[in-house]
Amino acid sequence: MATIRRRNTPLKDAIAHATRAIDKARELEVKYINSFKGRGLFAKVPYQKGDFIVEYRGELISSQESERRRGIYHSKCTVFMFDFCWKERMWCIDAAQEDDSLGRLVNDDHIYPNCKMKRVIAEGKPHLCLFALRDIKAGEEITYDYGGSDWPWRKQAKVQETASDTLSSEEVPQSPSPSKMQAKVQNTAADTMSSEEVPQSPSFSEMQAKTQETGADTLSSEEVPQSPSVSEMQAKTQETSADTLSSEEAPQSPSVSEMQAKTQETSADTLSSEEVPQSPSVSEVQAKTQETSADTLSSEEVPQSPSVSEVQAKTQETGADTLSSEEVPQSPSLSHMQRMWMYMRTMTVEQHVGQGHKRVWMYLTTASMGQHVSHKSVWLNVIRLKMARLH
């Protein structure tokens, strides 16, 4: 029986296209889908599982340059910036420029993606390439999971799903929850190619790298006997930061640099160990955080945020959804920065460190500002509070 033979291995195919900066223009086509999704990329021919499909081509820039551009780009352009880790540093492919490349037009599907982004090294430079996760039929839209969990269109899609609840379960195939699916995708064993999988969520991988770095800088292993694994923290962060404000909901969201400035200020303001000589209770820590973050607000002006356990319960309950914007009380007297601060999500990771003590790490993150906040900002906004005693 005749077998279909590939001319090239998928990896060689990817390298050949990447080095020449060309797409499979005869096998793929761009189509306008609708006003919600815009354009998308479609297969004109069938592909086999593992095939190289298209490169996410753009300008390779450093994380510093990516940071700078995020500060000046409109959110419609920042969505074209793909951050990834290579050689223990963060890089970015900036595909904001409207050119004829096809990879930049591939839409997100975090539930049933048919492709996966992998890093391919060609002529000593990293390239981001999409490979088929399964066989793809001619006519199918090419998709991959953008990672993260706070993309505004996912929320809108959810609303649309809910609106179609009147259909019976037979008519609406049950889809696994996004977080489960993401975990599944992440667990997909790397195939035999030497291309490397690009972590699903660049922001979280950066946080992970940063966490490892900073954790090592500041905490000795004795100090953190049972520190939560990075993946636990990552999962927790994904859960907690999932809730977003769409850009319409947060029209005055500050620039990245404003947020960084604010964070630096606030981080510096936070609790030094001298300031917390008697190991405050969780609620004290929380109250202190509100005080510190609110700066000039009086206690009446600062709406009470839920207690740590409420936040935790809420997170567990709702999975991806934490506090919705409706749940964050609005105060007309608040300044722009103050409002922004309140949109930050609180995340806690508790560690039991024996002898009736627990350490509470509290994170405030701007990851869910409704736009893709730069990783650096996310990290800068991570505030680690000091040990709290249970008794």
Ligand X SMILES: C[S@@+](CC[C@H](N)C(=O)[O-])C[C@H]1O[C@@H](n2cnc3c(N)ncnc32)[C@H](O)[C@@H]1O
Binding site for ligand X (CB under 6 A): 36-40, 79-80, 104-105, 107-109, 153
**Is the CB of residue 70 less than 8 Å from the CB of residue 81?**
yes
Q: Which is nearer to ligand X, 118 or 236 (CB)?
A: 118
In the complex, least distance from residue 38 CB atom to ligand X, rounded to whole angstroms: 3
Q: Which is nearer to ligand X, 33 or 313 (CB)?
A: 33
Q: Which is nearer to ligand X, 152 or 280 (CB)?
A: 152
Q: Report phi then psi at 289, rounded to 5.
A: -60, -40
Q: How far is CA 146 from CA 4, 200, 386, in A?
A: 31, 7, 34
Q: How far is CA 212 from CA 88, 151, 330, 387, in A?
A: 12, 26, 36, 19
**Structure-block tokens of residue 148:** 């993260």
Rg (CA), the chain: 23
In the complex, least distance from residue 176 CB atom to ligand X, rounded to whole angstroms: 17
**Rounded distance between C-alpha atoms, residue 149 and residue 157, angstroms:** 13
Q: Which is nearer to ligand X, 61 or 387 (CB)?
A: 61
Q: Which is nearer to ligand X, 40 or 303 (CB)?
A: 40
In the complex, least distance from residue 344 CB atom to ligand X, rounded to whole angstroms: 23
In the complex, least distance from residue 280 CB atom to ligand X, rounded to whole angstroms: 42
In the complex, least distance from residue 79 CB atom to ligand X, rounded to whole angstroms: 4
Q: Which is nearer to ligand X, 108 or 239 (CB)?
A: 108
Which residues partner with 115 through β-bridges? 132, 144
Query: Long-range contacts for 155-158 (Cβ within 8 Å, ≥24 apart)?
Result: 155/244, 155/246, 156/36, 156/246
Q: Which is nearer to ligand X, 91 or 151 (CB)?
A: 151
Closest CA to 7 of 32, 30, 24: 24
Is the C-alpha dihedral spanning 66, 69, 71, 77 positive or negative? negative
Q: Which is nearer to ligand X, 73 or 153 (CB)?
A: 153
In the complex, least distance from residue 249 CB atom to ligand X, rounded to whole angstroms: 16
Closest CA to 344 of 364, 374, 323: 364
**Rounded distance between C-alpha atoms, residue 373 and residue 369, angstroms:** 7
In the complex, least distance from residue 384 CB atom to ligand X, rounded to whole angstroms: 33
In the complex, least distance from residue 92 CB atom to ligand X, rounded to whole angstroms: 14
In the complex, least distance from residue 36 CB atom to ligand X, rounded to whole angstroms: 5
User: Angle at CA 306, nearest 5°, toward 302 and 307?
Assistant: 115
Q: Which is nearer to ligand X, 155 or 384 (CB)?
A: 155
Residue nearest to ligand X (CB): 38
User: CB under 8 Å to 213, separation ≥6 — which residues?
Assistant: none
Amino acid at 116: K
